[in-house]
């Protein structure tokens, strides 16, 4: 069975540990990402504005590394392709999800998840925690489990 395609909202790519989890899970073949080009721009703005301890070079390095890792999975979709039920600021994420044929949209934005799940699309929106659990349940054998020490 092929891995699921998951669209990634910017809010799950900003925290470094979460971003590392998502990129590692992708690297392990547990899912295929779909990311809006605009979402990656949002990540760069958030890192620059919300993390004053990060230098401009550090932000650029991190975002460039994300762009490289996701190079074949960045979608520059027309936001007008998303249903009107989706708020204007997030239509690019949903449009990229639809173009990328994602089954799931991963976002910690409760309002966006409600809009997506109520729009009658084949796309469903989940939190990062729920997505991580789904990956585990779907591919537990593909995930390295901690060893037990006696």
Give me the long-range contacts of 64-70 (CB less than 8 A, separation at least 24).
Answer: 66/13, 66/19, 66/23, 66/40, 67/40, 69/23, 69/26, 69/27, 70/23, 70/26, 70/33, 70/35, 70/40
What pTM does this model have?
A: 0.90
In this predicted structure, what is the pLDDT of residue 140? Answer: 61
124: DSSP letter = E
Name the token pair of 22. 């998502």
Average pLDDT over residues 132-146: 73
Q: What Å distances lie between residue 100 and 8, 52, 75, 95, 124, CA to CA?
A: 11, 34, 7, 8, 14
Q: What is the pLDDT of residues 66-118, one digit of tens each?
A: 999 999 999 999 999 999 999 999 999 999 999 999 999 999 999 999 999 99
The answer as to CATH 3.40.50.1010 being correct for domain 5-139 is: yes
- pLDDT over 50 at 150, yes or no: no
Name the token pair of 90. 């997030």
Domain boundaries, the chain: 5-139
In this predicted structure, what is the pLDDT of residue 106? Answer: 98
Rounded to 5°, the CA angle 17-9-73 comes to 90
SS3 at position 104 = strand
Q: What is the pLDDT of residues 20-46, one digit of tens each?
A: 999 999 999 999 999 999 999 999 999
In this predicted structure, what is the pLDDT of residue 138? Answer: 83
In this predicted structure, what is the pLDDT of residue 2? Answer: 85
Q: Is the distance from CB of 13 to CB of 106 less than 8 angstroms?
A: no
């Amino acid at each position: 069975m092929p891995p699921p395609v998951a669209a990634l909202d910017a809010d799950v790519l900003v925290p470094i540990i979460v971003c590392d989890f998502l990129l590692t899970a992708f690297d392990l073949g547990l899912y295929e990402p779909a990311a809006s080009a605009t979402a990656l721009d949002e990540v760069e703005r958030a890192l620059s504005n919300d993390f004053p301890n990060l230098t401009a070079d550090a932000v650029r390095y991190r975002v460039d590394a994300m762009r490289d890792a996701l190079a074949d999975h960045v979608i520059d979709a027309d936001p007008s392709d998303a249903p009107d039920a989706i708020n204007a600021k997030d239509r690019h994420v949903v449009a990229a999800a639809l173009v990328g044929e994602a089954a799931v949209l991963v976002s910690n934005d409760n309002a966006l998840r409600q809009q997506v799940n109520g729009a009658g699309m084949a796309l469903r929106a989940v939190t990062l925690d729920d997505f991580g659990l789904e990956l585990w349940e779907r591919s537990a054998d593909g995930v390295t489990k901690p060893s037990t020490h006696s």
